[in-house]
Amino acid sequence: MPRNIPIGNGEMLVAFDDLYRIRDLYWPHVGQPNHTCGHLQRFGVWADGHFAWVDSSGWTREMSYKRDSLVTDVRLRHERLGLELVCHDAVDYFSPVFFRRVTVCDLLGRARDVRVFFHADLSVGESPVGDTVAFDPSTSGLVHYKDERYFLFNGVHPGGWGIGSWATGQKRIGDAEGTWRDAEDGLLSRNAIAQGSVDSTVGFHLTVPAGGSEVCTYWIAAGSSHEAVRQLNDKVRLKTPQRMMERTEAYWRLWSQKEAVPNDPLPDHLANLHRRSALIVRTQIDNGGAIIAANDYDITHFAGDTYSYMWPRDGALVAHALTLAGHSELSRRFFAFCQRVRHPDGYFLHKYNPTGTFASTWHPWLTEKGRWLPIQQDETALVTWALRKHFLAFRDVEFIKNLYNPLVVDTANWMLSYRDHAGLPMPSWDLWEERRGVHLFTVCATIGALQAASNFASDMGAMDRAAEFGEGAERMRGAMLRHMWDPERRLFARCAVPQEDGGYRLDFTLDASAYALFAFGALDAADPRVASHMQAIRERLWVRTEVGGIARYERDPYHQVERHALHEVPGNPWIICTLWYAQWIIAKATTESELREALDYVEWTHWRAARSGVLAEQYDPYSGAQISVSPLTWSHATLMTTVLQYRQRHAELTGRLAATEGAMSTEEPARHRLRG
């Protein structure tokens, strides 16, 4: 199920599904490890002899966030129980503590005996083997632990501090379903300890007045030792959960409104979606610098793996969105992370864990044709390109000093060395990670990176390097136009596969990633060749159903829903692909009227967003249901980039004060003399 309300602080990430069940608990890194392995963490209520888990029928749910914050605002109503629950969840902005505050409201007009239960099904370190859960008399809470991972479950209610009742036991061993079954009669066994594959349930007894309400607050504190979680528990008692949640709400509101936006040309609902996207992006970024692609554990059922990794391509494009939004501290951490994980030869491998180690991959080092690098070259190129954009925005020379050689000079030298006879990149895997060849997206990203490196070198006074890198970009641009542009089709090939005779076999499958032609400075957005190709994307990749949107490419098989009416549904609609087209409209617009056309695609994105603002990777072309991971960090970052580019272009066209949240300095690339 999609993770429709993620909350976190860069150290701890908690994610809920659309039935308001906690499904993921990551700590001490965003993305690693997931101590729930996607299993349900149940939440239920007993009232006057009747019981209901919140995922059962009978509940109506309204799930969102408090405005401009990472504090949830959830309302659950059950007519048969005669109760409404108002819930607020938060991960403290500073410490690894998750809070849930529950206000239980009577709807029947009489005093009520209500018991609230929270179930925990942890697999500490992503394995249930060797876990222990025990009642801790020193805190009056329950502690789940293994090795250097401790989780303290505790709370406060009208009766005082500490859990009111509890149960510990085994799960998924023989006939043992788990302690959550123990809660359904309203009473818990108070078993003091269990080990192995274990779970636990804690309960709070509330007396709710007629027509009134009562409150309990539950929390989970994470630490590397028993003493660490005890100290966090003491901190919660000293500061009080209410104050810690209030300060967290205030912090994220301040963070999301980093800069004022005067004369904003966006309607309020789109400006709100932009701020929500920035907050959701932040939940997916580890404090160590890794920008994680997605943290929806359910994808393991489809792929046997997760998206909880740092892909340098996704990370670079997200870092660019953060740069545009003025969040320099986050983009700095990302580039510092890249410096640590970069291969000594100057390139990046497929993907990385948030700890910086090399992650799982399906790119081979050896095939029947011999050895080759298991890389996607655009990932290397886009880090250099995004670093240049960061520098233009913030001019942080001291920061760039230590990155100049490893992320500019070394990577540019490697890109120059990894070219074929025509000056195009050697074959590598495409951005969709499905095929090897010389890909248009990769070529354009590399042109942008070499031009960025040339400009960096010029700034540093290394004019010989500046000339070499600039000449490499020019030669690659010329090779792209000679070998990948077909004047009869008025299209670029998405891929060129080298042949033994020195030529290329061209693949003209239409692919939305051709937005790279203008996005990274290979050609101008107004170039007639770019216009011809982008118009073909809109015509042939638009999903002709009520859902709409732009597919990745023709006959896209990934999570394919429609297998027959390919003329109507070339593939599932993707957020990033639809917004790439909007970015082209923005880039080429010369009037306000032309610019406003881009808002149709931003509005489409708003229409696809969950009530909470969460954006998935792709959508069912008929029902509009979320498909694959949700939220996808790249989707939210692309929305951010599109909105910020719209604001900047609007300011340029109207002559008004720039309405951007971060500096957007630009450079004039040499591409203009190739226009036409």
- For residue 462, what is the domain's CATH number? 1.50.10.10
Q: Which two tokens stand for residue 486?
A: 């077909």
Residue 104, pLDDT > 60, answer yes
Q: Are strands 22-29 and 83-91 parallel, antiparallel or unpaired?
A: unpaired
Residue 311 token pair: 């892909």
pTM: 0.95
Beta bridge partners of 429: 436
The pLDDT value recorded for residue 433 is 95
> Which among 115, 116, 75, 100 is positioned nearest to 25, based on CA atoms?
100
Average pLDDT over residues 198-204: 97
Residue 257 pLDDT > 80 = yes
- Assign 1 a pLDDT band (cuts: 50, 70, 90): low
Residues 239 and 122 in one domain: yes
Q: Residue 214 pLDDT > 50, yes or no?
A: yes
Residue ranges of E strands in 353-503: 366-367, 370-371, 428-429, 436-439, 485-486, 491-492, 495-498
For residue range 447-493, list pLDDT tens digits in order. Answer: 999 999 999 999 999 999 999 999 999 999 999 999 999 999 999 99
Confidence of residue 263 (pLDDT cuts 50, 70, 90): confident
Is residue 18 in some structural domain? no
Residue 421 vs residues 250, 286, 440, 559: alpha-carbon distances, Å: 57, 41, 17, 38
Q: What is the pLDDT of residue 193?
A: 97
Residue 86, SS3 per DSSP: strand
pLDDT greater than 80 at residue 259: no
d(CA 453, CA 630): 35
Q: Is residue 506 part of a domain?
A: yes
- In this structure, the answer to whether residues 644 and 601 fall within a common structural domain is yes
Q: Say whether both 399 and 473 belong to one domain.
A: yes
Q: 39 and 180 in contact (C-beta within 8 Å)? A: no
Indicate the pLDDT class of residue 176, thresholds 50, 70 and 90: confident
Angle at 377 between CA 371 and CA 381, to 5 degrees: 150
Q: Which of 377, 330, 248 is nearest to 637 (CA)?
A: 330
On whether residue 533 sits in a domain, the answer given is no
Q: Which domain holds residue 165?
A: 41-255
* Mean pLDDT of the 46-61 span: 95
Structurally, how many domains does the chain consist of?
Answer: 3
Report the alpha-carbon angle 298-300-306, nearest 5. Answer: 95
Give yes or no: residues 505 and 604 share one domain: no
Whose structure tokens read 């859902």? Answer: 547
**Token digits of residue 552:** 């990745």
Distance between CA atoms of residues 26 and 33, nearest Å: 6
pLDDT at 667 over 90: no
Q: CA distances (Å), 399 to each of 335, 383, 387, 462, in order?
A: 10, 15, 11, 18
**Would residue 35 count as lying in a domain?**
no
Residue 485 lies in a domain: yes
Same domain? For 599 and 619 the reply is yes
In this predicted structure, what is the pLDDT of residue 261? 78
Answer yes or no: do 392 and 352 share one domain.
Answer: yes
Other C-beta atoms closer than 10 Å to the C-beta of 283 total 26
Helix (H) or strand (E) holding 334: helix 328-341
Please tell me what DSSP assigns to residue 74. Answer: E
Of 131-135, 175-179, 241-245, 436-440, least confident by mean pLDDT is: 175-179
Q: With 70 as the cut, is the pLDDT of residue 355 above it?
A: yes
- Non-local (6+) Cβ contacts of 551 within 8 A are 512, 541, 543, 569, 570, 571, 572, 573, 574, 577
Contact of 124 with 222, CB cutoff 8 Å: no
Question: Residue 411's closest CA among 442, 441, 379, 371?
Answer: 379
Say which residues have a Cβ less than 8 Å from residue 296's Cβ, sequence separation at least 6. 2, 3, 15, 24, 306, 307, 629, 630, 631
What whole-number percentage of the chain has pLDDT above 70?
96
Residue 647 in any domain: the answer is: yes
In angstroms, rounded to a whole number, what is the distance separating the alpha carbons of residues 19 and 11? 25
State residue 564's pLDDT score.
Answer: 64
Mean pLDDT of 67-94: 97
Bridge partners of 118, per DSSP, are: 43, 202
Mean pLDDT of the chain: 94
CATH number of the domain that residue 79 is part of: 2.70.98.10
Are 551 and 593 found together in one domain? Answer: yes
Residue 302 CB partners (closer than 8 Å, separation 6+): 559, 628
Asked if residue 264 and residue 243 are part of one domain, the reply reads no
Residue identified by tokens 């209030």 is 246
Q: What is the predicted pLDDT for the residue at 304?
A: 84
Q: Kindly tell me if the per-residue pLDDT of 662 is higher than 60.
A: no
pLDDT at 446 over 90: yes
Q: Are residues 272 and 238 in the same domain?
A: no
Q: Are residues 212 and 65 in the same domain?
A: yes
Q: Cα separation of 184 and 204, whole Å?
A: 14
- The confidence score (pLDDT) of residue 18 equals 93
Half-sphere exposure (Cβ direction) of 497: Cα atoms closer than 13 Å = 7
CA distance 602 to 646: 10
In a domain, 599, yes or no: yes
- Nearest to 77, CA basis, from 40, 35, 47, 41: 47
Instruction: Give the model's confidence band at 563: pLDDT under 50 very low, under 70 low, under 90 confident, else very high.
Output: low
Sorted by sequence, the CB contacts under 8 Å of residue 154 that are 6+ apart come out as: 139, 140, 141, 142, 161, 162, 163, 218, 219, 221, 233, 236
The answer on 199 and 157 residing in a single domain is yes
User: Is pLDDT at 664 greater than 90 in this prediction?
Assistant: no
Q: Is 234 part of a structural domain of the chain?
A: yes
End-to-end CA gap in the chain: 48
Q: Give the Cα separation of 633 and 294 in Å (integer).
A: 6
Evaluate if residue 605 carries a pLDDT over 70.
Answer: yes
Pick the closest to residue 377 from 423, 298, 444 (CA basis). Answer: 444
263 and 249 share a domain? no
% of the chain with per-residue pLDDT over 90: 90
pLDDT, average across residues 531-537: 98
My answer on whether omega of the bond before 498 falls inside 30° of 0, hence cis, is no
